[in-house]
Structure 1
Amino acid sequence: MSLAYITVNKIIEMFLIMAIGAVILKRGMADGETSKRLSSILLNVITPCMIINSYQIEFNKTLLIGLMVTAGLSGISFLMSIFLSGFLIRSKGNPDMAVERMSVVYSNCGFVGIPLINGLLGAEGVFFITAYITVFNILIWSHGITLMRGRTGNLVSTMKYFVNPSTVAIGAGILFFVTGFHLPEVVKNPVSMIGAMNTPVAMMVSGMNLAESDLLSCLKSSRTYVISAAKLLAVPFITLLLLMAVKVDRTIAITVLTASACPSAATSIMFALQYNKNSRYASELMAVTTILSLITIPVVMLAGGMVL
């Protein structure tokens, strides 16, 4: 019941911030161009600060090994999810293929995952989920961009997009953790404050997009429930099978399972805006999966608690 209570509270918080974004747009204080510019600031400034700040902790060899194990399992889970999305969501005759696949593969592991893990496992779990978020960022800035842009350009062109503020922040963050380097307080405090803006800005942008969409129509679409079932049930349950097979530390296993069970990522909306895809549909999928996750996350974790 603890997990269900935490989940409900975090989802309510998410929708309150999204509602503010929707009101901002409806009252004419912002428009579609505003949300696109805010998404650019989020992806290129705010998120990198959040990543660097998450690694500003004391070095510990056991934690480092656990971090590497978590990253490895997270990577396998993502690869399985990518394969599943490719199998379930065909590209032929589907203009929203990229949005749907991203909604299945990438979860809202930051806003929903971190608070859930903190409530279940405390600080150690939060540290391990940074490994999942790191793999998330590496893949979304490589596979995600390729998915949104299409298979255009050569390897050099793709690598150019891979080297960006978020991936640079990941590299710097890991280096800081391993070497024990801590940013001076005069630098760390602004970085921390900017990183803390990640959730509210992402949710407000999502709310702006949602205000322009037809959520009721989305709820009536059977396609929405197919995508939601793939994201909220199929992905976490294949991840659970993986965790049962490898028999890792329970804290790590619960961390990876919880992150994979979270609703669709708000980052999918930001990418849809940046690459001129159907951002309204991405917002609708995130909203619907968030609502349904109120039921599915406790179900997944109940199953996980029985076998892990």
Structure 2
Amino acid sequence: MNLAYITATKIIEMFIILLIGAGAYKTGIADETTGSRLTSVLLYIISPCVILLSYQIDFDRERLYGLAITALLSFVSFLIAIAVSRGAVPKNTGSDMAVERMSIVYSNCGFIGIPLIDSILGKEGVFYLTAYLTVFNMFVWSHGIMLMSGKAESIKKTVKSLINPSNAAIITGILLFLTGIKLPEIIREPVSLIGGMNTPAAMLISGINLAQSDFLGGLKNRRTYIISISKLIVVPALTMILLLAAGVNKTISVTVLTAAACPSGAMSTMFALQYKKNSQYASNLLTITTVLSLITIPAIMAAAGVFFK
């Protein structure tokens, strides 16, 4: 089946769940605290289950090599995104410079990337995505902090920030993958059921966030379009060129490209709150790029279907 068609179908399905989440907030079923609490459940329980299960596949050297290659390509992809952010958002932009740059560099590759790649490529795609997520965490807790705070954090604090359930799931999963140990069915089945909640939970959260944001007001801001084009078109396009030059297999290429094509991430809003930046603007960029990605991601995947064989 055509890659663009599969992606568009999954995006539409996810968008319907997003609308349900927005409707839940508008009708009072969900409130301001619902999204944050559900986000915690997603980050600390659901997503780690999906990651852990992605490593429950038979070990072979080719997959291990592919994981390392994915990490390397992801690293270069982030360097590209940082360069794009500096070009699109010069130092003299103003007080929102850090928020805008972070919105370009860091995508919602966990919330949207995991369910989308799981739908397109299955467990093997999520397996390779963990390499991208690892590199993402390395950059966001070093470059991201320096960007938003204006200074470097101590190595001890940076390392402490990397200790989280998703990274723990990655480390545990790699150990299980290398040793060939499989989870017993009585553990595997509950973990699988929890992991199955990933897509609906992620999109319900996105819908609740959408309902709370000033979406129409954000569309009147010219800077919004510069950030959106940089994040959703320029970064994925340059990443595609990188992947074509690298000549890696289709699964790795589609995984890295999809992660890079995801909309701006929630980390921008969370860091903006923590470092007293414009969190409302960060939230608007997250919401607007999420809605626009319903068009841009299928378009990017259509191009990928032509170039990645």
Offset at residue 273 of structure 1 (A): 6.9
Is 1:168 aligned to 2:168, yes or no?
A: yes
- Given the superposition, is the C-alpha separation of residues 172 and 90 from structure 1 closer, same or farther in structure 2, using an over 3 Å criterion? farther
CA offsets, 1:170-228, max 9 Å, x none? Answer: 11111111111222222222222222222222222222222122211222322221111
Q: Which amino acid aligns with 1:218?
A: G
Residues of 2 paired with 1:251 and 1:280: CA distance? 36
Offset at residue 56 of structure 1 (A): 1.4
Residues of 2 paired with 1:47 and 1:254: CA distance? 20
Residues of 1 paired with 2:28 and 2:139: CA distance? 36
Judge conservation of contact 1:11–1:290 (CA < 8 Å) in 2.
Answer: no
Residues of 2 paired with 1:73 and 1:263: CA distance? 19
Name the structure 1 match of 2:20.
20
Matches within 5 A, 1:104-253: 104-109=104-109, 113=113, 124-140=124-140, 142-144=142-144, 147=147, 151=151, 153-253=153-253
* More divergent stretch after superposition (26-35 vs 178-187): 26-35
Judge conservation of contact 2:35–2:209 (CA < 8 Å) in 1.
Answer: yes
Residues of 1 paired with 2:182 and 2:37: CA distance? 31
Offset at residue 279 of structure 1 (A): 5.5
**Count of equivalent residues:** 308
Residues of 1 paired with 2:239 and 2:180: CA distance? 32
Residues of 2 paired with 1:95 and 1:165: CA distance? 33
Q: Which amino acid aligns with 1:50?
A: V
CA offsets, 1:70-103, max 9 Å, x none? Answer: 2211121122212322443356675544543333
- Given the superposition, is the C-alpha separation of residues 103 and 44 from structure 1 closer, same or farther in structure 2, using an over 3 Å criterion? same
Is 1:41 aligned to 2:41, yes or no?
A: yes
Judge conservation of contact 2:5–2:298 (CA < 8 Å) in 1.
Answer: no
Judge conservation of contact 1:212–1:280 (CA < 8 Å) in 2.
Answer: no
Residues of 2 paired with 1:297 and 1:204: CA distance? 19
Q: Which amino acid aligns with 1:289?
A: T
- Given the superposition, is the C-alpha separation of residues 47 and 61 from structure 1 closer, same or farther in structure 2, using an over 3 Å criterion? same
Name the structure 2 match of 1:72.
72
Judge conservation of contact 1:209–1:279 (CA < 8 Å) in 2.
Answer: no
RMSD: 3.2
Offset at residue 104 of structure 1 (A): 1.8
Offset at residue 7 of structure 1 (A): 3.0
Residues of 2 paired with 1:61 and 1:240: CA distance? 25
In structure 2, stretches of 5+ residues that fail to align are: none
- Given the superposition, is the C-alpha separation of residues 234 and 99 from structure 1 closer, same or farther in structure 2, using an over 3 Å criterion? same
Q: Which amino acid aligns with 2:247?
A: K
Judge conservation of contact 2:51–2:127 (CA < 8 Å) in 1.
Answer: no
Judge conservation of contact 2:103–2:282 (CA < 8 Å) in 1.
Answer: yes
Name the structure 2 match of 1:60.
60
Q: Which amino acid aligns with 1:60?
A: D
* More divergent stretch after superposition (171-180 vs 119-128): 119-128
Residues of 2 paired with 1:278 and 1:196: CA distance? 34
Q: Which amino acid aligns with 1:182?
A: K
State the SS of the aligned residue for 1:169: helix
Name the structure 1 match of 2:5.
5
Q: Which amino acid aligns with 1:41?
A: V
CA offsets, 1:264-283, max 9 Å, x none? Answer: 34565566677776555445
Offset at residue 302 of structure 1 (A): 4.9
State the SS of the aligned residue for 1:187: helix
Is 1:32 aligned to 2:32, yes or no?
A: yes
CA offsets, 1:120-165, max 9 Å, x none? Answer: 6666545433433443344445544565566464221222111122
Residues of 1 paired with 2:30 and 2:242: CA distance? 45
Residues of 1 paired with 2:137 and 2:201: CA distance? 18
Name the structure 1 match of 2:260.
260
